[in-house]
């Protein structure tokens, strides 16, 4: 049986955006892959909007809109861009090998920039909030 990892980037993105991936594919690695594909294809602001909209849509499709967190998602896309995710010379797996911190706990990555209190604010799930510890890299 073919998994999300077996799909080409085009097929994966199309299946994700049309909500045809199985619920088990709604995971951190695949969120990163969606962001990486968008960063490969679009300027940062468009990549952020497309990634956030796609993940929010998929969470709603699965009946779990509360699993989507706008501030964490946007912060991670910005951090991925800063770490070189838009470099077209590298595959997604090569990017993860170059920046292994993204494969771990996403909250730990953003903890240098955001306090738990700010991330736990209800509006942080719906809107991007600026960091309260350190500015995100530009």
Give the tens place of pLDDT for each residue, 124-134.
Answer: 999 999 999 99
Alpha helix (H) residue ranges in the chain: 9-17, 28-41, 44-61, 70-82, 92-98, 106-110, 116-119, 122-126
Q: For the whole model, what pTM was predicted? A: 0.94
* Residue 2, pLDDT score: 62
Residue ranges in the chain modelled with pLDDT below 70: 1-2
**What residue ranges do the domains of the chain occupy?**
4-126
* Residue 107, pLDDT score: 86
The answer to whether the beta carbons of residues 74 and 50 sit under 8 Å apart is: no
* Residue 89, pLDDT score: 94
* Residue 138, pLDDT score: 83
């Amino acid at each position: 049986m073919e998994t999300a990892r077996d799909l080409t980037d085009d097929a994966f993105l199309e299946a994700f955006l049309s909500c045809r991936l199985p619920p088990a594919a709604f995971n951190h690695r695949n969120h990163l892959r969606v962001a990486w594909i968008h960063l490969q294809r679009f300027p940062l602001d468009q990549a952020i909007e497309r990634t956030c909209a796609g993940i929010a849509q998929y969470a709603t499709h699965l009946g779990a809109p509360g699993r989507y967190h706008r501030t964490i998602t946007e912060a991670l896309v910005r951090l991925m861009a800063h770490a070189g995710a838009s470099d077209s010379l590298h595959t997604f797996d090569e990017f993860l090998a170059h920046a292994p911190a993204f494969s771990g706990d996403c909250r730990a990555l953003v903890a240098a920039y955001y306090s738990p209190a700010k991330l736990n604010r209800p509006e942080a799930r719906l809107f991007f909030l600026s960091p309260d510890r350190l500015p995100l890299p530009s």
